[in-house]
Structure 1
Amino acid sequence: MKRLTYSGTVAMAALLLNVLSEGLVSAQSSKSIFPQAPGMQTYTYRRGMKTNVEASLDSIKALGITDLECGVFPGKTAAESRKMLDDRGMHCSSFGGGYEALQDPEKLREIGRNAKIMGADYIMLAWILKKPPFTIDDAKAAVTNFNRIGKQLKDEFGLTFCYHNHGYEFQPYENGTLFDYIVKNTDPKYVSFELDLLWAAFPGQKPEELLNKYGNRFKLMHLKDLRKGVPGDLSGGTSVENDVALGTGAINMPAVLKAAKKAGIKHYYIEDESSSFATQVPQSLAYLKSVKE
């Protein structure tokens, strides 16, 4: 009886050790906050794209990145641009459009047609400020325009319209900001958002708090970090050299990535506007692979 008890105890201990070991491995593997490959905003490669689109795409592909936010490539048609992507196993998921063009129904249709040819699911708008400061009248006009633009894009092309914050929208207004006003007064059926981390942090916001506040209204994200110690403002502008490698700047990137996952962000794009992007982008990729909960 004692021998059986001892044997049973040993067997139980071995089983428990095995379960704990498997649990530890599982816990360790689940600690990666960002296990997927990010996409790329091709504005990062804007200089090279103007002179050699093929080489720029090859450079991005060499990093293991195949998901792009882009427009029709310089000197190419939408069909030619799509073929260049297809030849490389790459995909345009988000397509950029300008504010004035999107307000014109016919030009909007051209943008929509090109986006569909490119294979995109989203239309991104990144700038609406005509002259500073951004005012409540600007915000009200944006709400009206965004709802109409988003409805036309959804009804005619099945595309989702996303507005990309650029910092100036965080002017204080009532108990929040003008950005809050825009989010609350646009129709979620037709208007979504792309969160640019740098352009939330620069005017003094915490991107993770915006993600927690508005959840799945954010569909897309620009992965960017802001140099530490840079004084912010509401201008929507700062030196491109204040873009730094992810994880080295002022933004609490682990908190942002956790909140983004919870919010259900569909596409993440690295955007590095600095002259050091060739060295910083690989650093950012390495950081995303290494960051743990």
Structure 2
Amino acid sequence: MSEKLVALQLYTVRDETARDFKGTIRRVASLGYPAVEFAGYGDLSAAETKDLLKETGLRGVSTHVGWSELEKNLDYHINYCLEIGCPHLVLPSLPHEWHNADSFRTLAPQMNEIGRRCQERGLSFGYHNHDFEFQQSDGQYLLDILFSATDPALVSFELDTYWAAYAGVDPIAYLRQHAGRIPLIHLKDMTADRHYTEVGDGTLDIAGICRAAQESGTRFYIVEHDAPTIPSLESARRSLENLRKLGF
């Protein structure tokens, strides 16, 4: 059984970080989160981010960096992660024109190369899904094509459990199917009419998902809400409170 560590994807509170990045990070820490996943650094240098994490006691467990940035500035992002002690670099999405099997097979060697360069420096490189990756090509999910076409030693995955469920895929079964390759998951919840809601307030089997994730080797459980309808920090607080009731 793997260690469990809850983090907040800072995209959840992007309205707050846009106004006051450092202050929002301090608020996230005060809510009780032990860790965060970055979606940008608020224009802080790596040294400033490192100091902020030290001040708040937060860990940076992962960061989302887009494809163009990985192509142009991979060394910069690797160096940033190393300086702040962040072990995972994650590609959060792909341009719409690449949402097909041929593109996934073409991208796989490039992702392996990014993974190799990360691994050489002591980092892990991964891919985060949305729902389109569960479209099928010749009876196979696009995401499974990426699983098969990438080297397990070089490319890991961050399963967004909401988007899997939204696409009609059981996240519990999918986690078990790919045990060992999903060190991070996004925990999100879904209302009966298929909208976002706070973790633990919706229809998804969060406890079952977490059990399957832990049994499958997942270490980081990252809370995210794409579009809170209540103040975003309150949304983050409520999700964490619900997870605590599940033993986190």
Q: What is the TM-score when the length of structure 2 is the normalising length?
A: 0.92
Spell out the pairing of 1:141-160 with structure 2 (5 A cutoff): 141-155=106-120, 157-160=121-124
Q: Is residue 63 of structure 2 the alignment partner of residue 110 of structure 1?
A: no
Higher relative contact order structure (alpha carbons within 8 Å, sequence separation ≥ 6): 2
Which residue is 1:165 aligned to? 129
Which residue is 2:233 aligned to? 278
Gaps of 5+ in 1: 1-34, 231-241
Q: Is the 8 A contact 1:161 1:191 kept in 2?
A: yes
Aligned-pair identity (%)? 27
Match of 1:46 among 14, 28, 33: 14
Spell out the pairing of 1:1-293 with structure 2 (5 A cutoff): 38-70=6-38, 73-104=41-72, 107-131=73-97, 134-155=99-120, 157-230=121-194, 242-275=195-228, 276=230, 277-291=232-246
Q: What are the Cα deviations for residues 53-102 of structure 1, in whole angstroms up to 9, with x where unaligned?
A: 12201211111112111155213111111111111111212122111121
Distance 1:288 1:99 in 2: 32
Q: Is the 8 A contact 1:37 1:65 kept in 2?
A: no
Q: What is the TM-score when the length of structure 1 is the normalising length?
A: 0.78
Gaps of 5+ in 2: none
Q: Is the 8 A contact 1:49 1:73 kept in 2?
A: no
Distance 1:164 1:201 in 2: 14
Q: Is the 8 A contact 1:72 1:114 kept in 2?
A: no
Alignment root-mean-square deviation, CA: 2.1
Q: Is the 8 A contact 1:215 1:263 kept in 2?
A: yes
Distance 2:13 2:117 in 1: 31
Q: Which amino acid aligns with 1:114?
A: Y
Cα distance 1:142–1:227, how it changes in 2: closer, same or farther (>3 A)? Answer: farther
